[in-house]
Amino acid sequence: MRSLAAGALIAVAIASVGPGVARGEATWRLEQPAPPAGARFKVPLGTPDDMEFLAPNEGLLSVEGNAVVPTGLFFWNGRAWRQLSTVCGGSGEASRIAWAGPDEFWTITEPSEPRVGSGLALCHFKDGVVVGSYSTPLQSPDPFRPMDAAACDGPDDCWFAGIASEDPTGQRAGAFHLHWDGANLTTSYQPEGRGVSGLASFGGTFYESTLVGAQAGDATDPVTLGTPEPLGPILIHRLAGATFADANFLPFPYSGVPAEGVELLSAKSDATDLWFSGGGAASGPAAPHDGSVASPPLAVHYDEPFFQQAPIDSSLFGSEDRFVDIAPVPGTSSAWVADQALSERGSATDRAKVALIGADGSATQQTLPASGAGRGSAQLVAASGLEEAWMATSAGWLFHYSNGTVLPEDTDPNWASTITQRPNESVAQFVSDTPPPDDSQLFAPPPVQVETKASGESAPLVIPALLKDIKVARRGLTVTISFQLTRLADVQLLAKLHGKVIARTREERLKAGKRKLQLRFERKRWPDALSFKTKELTKPKPVPASGSQGEAKTGPTAVSTSVRRHG
């Protein structure tokens, strides 16, 4: 990286020459943020989505939140964690963070309401505010697809990537990618169509790790490959020009593990090292239903020009263990890994497993906490120094690896306040309370035009909207749709993912008035579209259209909004 590499080198320096407090032996210990306002005790933060450090005293954590902790981002200033933002944060394990500079970063997040869908939007933070918010309407000719990986090499070069898909025309197919060049976002569908699980910037270019299947947990959808892979999936790609091409890495052929039986789940780098991690495949044709292939976990170290899988003693780990996240230890050829079996994902009671892996295959595993009740399985790791690291459990408890050195506090005012405002990239899609309620087309049907014979009338007639004032709210994994029903009708709410109905409410006969419908979803099956199915039970009276109220307006393919700081 350019600006970020300097931050990583500073990290090593701070870690090695901290203020004058006597060091002890580095150990892992629970170090949870202070209780939220109104709470008497420290609480879990909810499912953590990503954790990235620029320096030992400059770190970001994205969390889903819970009934006590708001969804959003936390910032570590070297002394304490505090809530940085209640917008643009984590949801359903599909939020990612990419540092673009000392006071600039991006997140993958949810769109502004009324659009929905984890991983379908981006937020751009700079100097303590959200300066840009990006998403697309569902019916866009070039829509964003769910993203699960992000990395930047400075403020004018960022990549975001996700599931294997195709554009609405079917002419472009492969792994969905977005590129930011400092002014514009450009979509592409890269030729090797396996879902992307991680992105890292290293040595002046970008590398990505991939799953076996089209997306996490997908064992059925076919994968489109630009280049045949006769020996098995090539799970690492390198950016060459504008194309992510195979980097010629094949994992060890373990006995009893099929060629499509392992996948990579993470890609991380610092100024000197690049690592990848993974384990038994939970996607692709070899993956069992709701499980992963029995296989030793894997860690891969880039020793230019080769990608070398660490020769770990497989007897140290279970056949279901997977290294779901990895963090290079600055200044060494080792990395911390979060060890989590698929069956432990989302656990709030399991004890976490972390391991220090060397490029030579050495491995030291620890269970946290060492005694007492579990705080959830290990989900995220980050290392900012030789003896400075963090681990977040699946329930949102934080463990700190430290020798007791007191770090300098980051007092940058850009991290001092809580960000609560985000530009609404959907705002340009709204029209008044007459049909259609919004141009993202999440809530069809559009207004019904009534054709009449020429009679000298100056305005056409339209049937008044059946549904008005549609609003979408989300709490946890429950989505609530509130609306005004203008007349008696049978109403049902449908949720869809990639065009298929995945959930629905029961059909209800509702009278006119304010109404609400709710649906609860699983993190792995979050919808990308909501729609109403209605049947009118009365004959509405057409009324004259006025101004734009009888027109259906459309917005641009992607709407970017921004704010500026004054003063």
Alpha carbons 409 and 477: distance in angstroms, whole number: 36
CATH class of 430-561: mainly beta
Q: What are phi and psi of 11, to 5 degrees?
A: -55, -45
CA angle 436, 441, 442 (to 5 degrees): 115
Alpha carbons 287 and 259: distance in angstroms, whole number: 11
CA neighbor of 84 nearest in space, from 50, 113, 114, 59: 59
Domain borders along the chain are 3-415, 430-561
Alpha carbons 422 and 429: distance in angstroms, whole number: 16
CATH architecture assignment, domain 3-415: 7 Propeller (2.130)
- Tell me whether the CATH fold assigned to 3-415 matches the one assigned to 430-561: no
Q: What is the pLDDT along the chain (567 residues), one digit of tens a residue?
A: 333 544 444 444 444 434 334 467 999 999 999 988 878 899 999 999 999 999 999 999 999 999 899 999 999 999 999 999 999 988 756 799 999 999 999 999 999 888 888 899 999 999 999 999 999 988 899 999 999 999 999 999 999 999 999 999 999 999 999 999 999 999 999 998 999 999 999 999 999 999 999 999 999 998 989 889 999 999 999 999 999 999 989 999 999 999 999 999 999 999 999 999 999 999 999 999 889 999 999 999 999 999 999 999 999 999 999 999 999 999 999 999 999 999 999 899 999 999 999 999 999 999 999 999 999 999 999 999 999 999 999 999 999 999 999 999 999 999 999 999 999 887 643 333 333 333 334 433 333 333 333 444 444 555 778 888 888 888 778 888 888 888 888 899 888 887 678 888 988 888 888 999 999 887 767 887 888 888 888 877 776 654 333 332 322 233 333 333 333
* Contact residues for 300 (Cβ-Cβ < 8 A; gap 6+): 236, 249, 251, 264, 275, 276, 277, 307, 308, 309, 310
